[in-house]
Structure 1
Amino acid sequence: MNRNAYISFQATAHDAFRALVNLTDNPLLVTTLSEPSFLKFLVSYILNPQAILADLASMLLSNLSATASVCVALLSIKVSLLPDPNSPIKWFPVDSRCGTCPAPVPYPSAEPKEVLALPLLIDAFVRAAPAVEIEDRAKRAYRGELHFLASVFANITTIPAGREFFLTPRPSDPFDESTDLEYPLVKLLAFTEHKDTIRRGGVASVIKNCAFHTPAHRALLVGEDEKATVPPSTVAAPGIDILPYVLLPLAGPEEFDLEDQELLPAALQFLPPDKKREVDPVIRLTHVETMLLLCTTRWGRDYLRTHGVYEVVRALHENEQVDKISEEVERLVNYIKRYEGLQTAKDGEELINAAKVEENSDDEDSKIEEV
């Protein structure tokens, strides 16, 4: 195929993907587009570092995963991999082969290996956002940026089985079962400060959705120097330590008294004078709601009290221009500053009921919803 014909083929493939993205607005077509073999192709295509339309494929998967049945399917789908020493990930996803994602030459001769797809998608999501920006896409590990995978993970964590996946220890390297165990959620935390709104917003939603699982609050908050378990799993792994990643986007350039400064996580101590708060109000609200969810257990409230949360959210409240966020911050402060009597003395006595933070409340404005 000559260069002009290849460019024309790329344009046709681009338009086809775009059409499929638009079609997912129609719920009647989602079932057809969620057929297992197509989902396996879509996941495999995204996983292939050479896929030039992986961002559109990620967008399509994001739209499809808004349906619970697709989320359930993504938790169990396995993809076929062949060893490929020339690939940045050292594997070739067999079902990714197509016109815009050619097979390696020479074609691997080994037997394919079936691997659970979701850990691979998380790995691809991380690899596609290098710590140092590389302008030339041809020099990146992945041709796509895969920001929309954050929305896929957010959708998956709206169902209990999805939260359980992100809160169950797995080998840190999805290609090597012998590596140390870690919670999959840990891999996403660094992106709460990413420059792309879709990526950091989706990750913020994943953290918030995981906070709905109250037995996970201790593991979510403790640092990596302490091991924790999340029922129903009995497997221990280093703590997830979400607080710095939730609190930092809400922090501004304010200076605190030294005594208050020492309460804060290390990442929030002595911030530069040009520190900016999260600019997107939806994401700011998501982080505040995460901390409200953590307040539904006595242990969570005590942890927030002793780690400087009040000082940061007080400064946030003084500078906040969005009424809804200000109201939620006030609720958070009420939880942190309230008197703890005998009825709240034991951890776990206050549980989330129908995705509400305030118990026995019929006020629609007080509800926190999974996103």
Structure 2
Amino acid sequence: MQAQLLELVPFLRDRNPQARQLALSNLLPQTPQGSPYRDTLFFKGLGGGGLQKPKETDVIRDLKLLCRDQLNIAHDAFRALVNLSDSPMLIGPLSDPSFLTFIVSYIVNPQSICADLAAMLLSNLTASSAACLIVITMKIKVIQYKPYGEDAFQMYPVDSRSGSSPTPVPHPTGQEMELNALPLLIDAFVQGATMGDIDDLSKRKRKGELNFLASVFANITVSPAGRLVFLTPQPSDITKTDLSQVTETQDGKIALEYPLAKIVPFTEHKDSIRRKGVASSIKNCCFLVKAHKAILSPESERVVVQPSKVAAPGIDAVPYLLLPLAGPEEFDLDDQEKLHPSLQFLPPDKKREADANIRITVVEALILLCHTRWGRDYLRSTGVYEIVREFHLQEKEEKVREEVERLVQMLKGEEPSIQAADEEEEDIVDAELNKADTISVSTKAEDSDEEDFKIEEI
């Protein structure tokens, strides 16, 4: 059997698409972890060790090229690489800048039919800090154009060209421009949120739901550089890269926003992968203490997150953190008035988050936001204690209950009589949280919650 499978490998680059498809369909069952011939077929010859990077073998190079092939071949090639990318040996060969540029461009293109598989692959690759850094700093070439019969502009990523991502007809004739990749991925993620409600693929403006981009954002925000991207004001119009070009709109709203503000509403989305990745992204961003005011403040207030000197509307994350913990309970009038309008008079069928890992992540984010006096006072004034008090009564998981009790101690505990100035306190807490975050990152491989972001055997 092994010899027969090895004979199929050269057919991956055959001129006949039927031969390529047949060879790939027979090799695909060997890509999941635990398959008997996986190592022999896909990992033999990778080598590497010490300072030497793993070498790219012919079969891996072929699979990367087949991701650009016609739809049925590209679909199986993406599936194969998603399954194989659970191995650290393939992170290097799959994270070369040219291939990552194709993957990101492919995801950004609304017409990419295998965009969800590409998002899964990017999720696995960004488990590596090297791949994260490439995505954070990446720029991709796009052409802005108006589809026939539509008023809104769309972006055509030039490097997404492939058999399963058709070029618009007529071909866009606008000028190429280079844009930061991460804001484009965030916009694609937001647009994909409602695509699952449309069963007919031909009627979707974006073919993929892109729920797995949430775990990409969670991976990226593990690093301080990644957090800064999500907590640095960006123009609402992503084609404007110069902040000096941004002015107020006619209704007086500033045309700047924190990228994190775009993803926080999805803590209540129907897809658990999206909810979990967004909750983890928010929690990771909470390690940046200087951003706490921006994370908590309402949109009506403009807040600066150092080292940036540009103010943008607050992210107003509290209601999105509390909704997963909130149930149908009714509160006294005094307690009710503290709550955000979205948390008042919830329907009798309101259910709490079913996934214990997401619940504990949300509670841990609230604990991080309690690390300054200003944060504790703000959370007290917005009814956080009242919500978690009822949540604690219903919670069955002991680990979650323990974290809720930690949160309550911080909210209801006695405050010190002498208080440091805001900036001094932020600097002290920032150093403490960075130290704690470094420890948590170093033990990431032992954390079963983080391992859930690894996609295998599809």
Instruction: State the distance in 2 between where 1:222 and 1:266 align.
Output: 15
| Cα contact 1:255–1:270 (8 A) shared by 2 | yes
Q: What is the percentage of aligned positions where both structures have the same residue? A: 56
| Cα contact 1:355–1:370 (8 A) shared by 2 | no
Query: Residue 176 of structure 1: CA displacement?
Result: 4.2
Amino acid at match of 2:326: A
The answer for unaligned runs of 5 or more in structure 2 is: 1-17, 23-69, 247-254, 438-442, 451-458
For 1:290, which of 362, 365, 376 is the aligned residue?
A: 365
**CA 312–369 in structure 1, closer or farther in 2 if over 3 Å, else same:** farther
Query: Residue 247 of structure 1: CA displacement?
Result: 0.6
Structure 1 outlier segments of 4+, above 6 Å: 4-8
Counterpart residue number, 1:53: 114
Amino acid at match of 1:135: D
Amino acid at match of 2:194: P
* 2:278 paired with 1:203: yes
Describe the superposition over 1:93-122 as per-residue Cα deviations: whole angstroms up to 9, x where unpaired: 110011111222332334311111110000
Question: 3-state SS of the aligned residue for 2:236?
Answer: strand
Instruction: State the distance in 1 between where 2:98 and 2:177 align.
Output: 17
Query: Residue 307 of structure 1: CA displacement?
Result: 1.1
Amino acid at match of 1:351: V
For 1:228, which of 303, 316, 320 is the aligned residue?
A: 303
Query: Residue 92 of structure 1: CA displacement?
Result: 1.4
Instruction: State the distance in 2 between where 1:337 and 1:227 align.
Output: 29
**CA 369–213 in structure 1, closer or farther in 2 if over 3 Å, else same:** farther
Q: How does 1:1-371 map to 2 (within 5 A)?
A: 9-86=70-147, 90-130=154-194, 133-176=197-240, 178=245, 180-344=255-419, 346-347=421-422, 349=425, 351-352=429-430, 353=432
Instruction: State the distance in 1 between where 2:114 and 2:153 align.
Output: 18
| Cα contact 1:125–1:147 (8 A) shared by 2 | yes
**CA 91–149 in structure 1, closer or farther in 2 if over 3 Å, else same:** same
**CA 175–6 in structure 1, closer or farther in 2 if over 3 Å, else same:** farther
| Cα contact 1:80–1:113 (8 A) shared by 2 | yes
Q: 101-110 or 209-218, which moves further after superposition?
A: 101-110
Instruction: State the distance in 2 between where 1:113 and 1:357 align.
Output: 41
Amino acid at match of 2:123: S
Query: Residue 346 of structure 1: CA displacement?
Result: 4.2
Amino acid at match of 1:121: L
**CA 305–356 in structure 1, closer or farther in 2 if over 3 Å, else same:** farther
RMSD: 2.5
Q: TM-score, normalised by structure 1?
A: 0.91
Query: Residue 133 of structure 1: CA displacement?
Result: 2.7
Instruction: State the distance in 2 between where 1:328 and 1:357 align.
Output: 16
Instruction: State the distance in 2 between where 1:259 and 1:133 align.
Output: 39
The count of corresponding residues between Structure 1 and Structure 2 is 360
Amino acid at match of 1:168: T
Instruction: State the distance in 2 between where 1:132 and 1:27 align.
Output: 32
Q: 273-282 or 8-17, which moves further after superposition?
A: 8-17
| Cα contact 1:79–1:114 (8 A) shared by 2 | yes
Counterpart residue number, 2:46: none
The answer for unaligned runs of 5 or more in structure 1 is: 359-363
Amino acid at match of 1:145: E
**Bigger Rg, structure 1 or 2:** 2
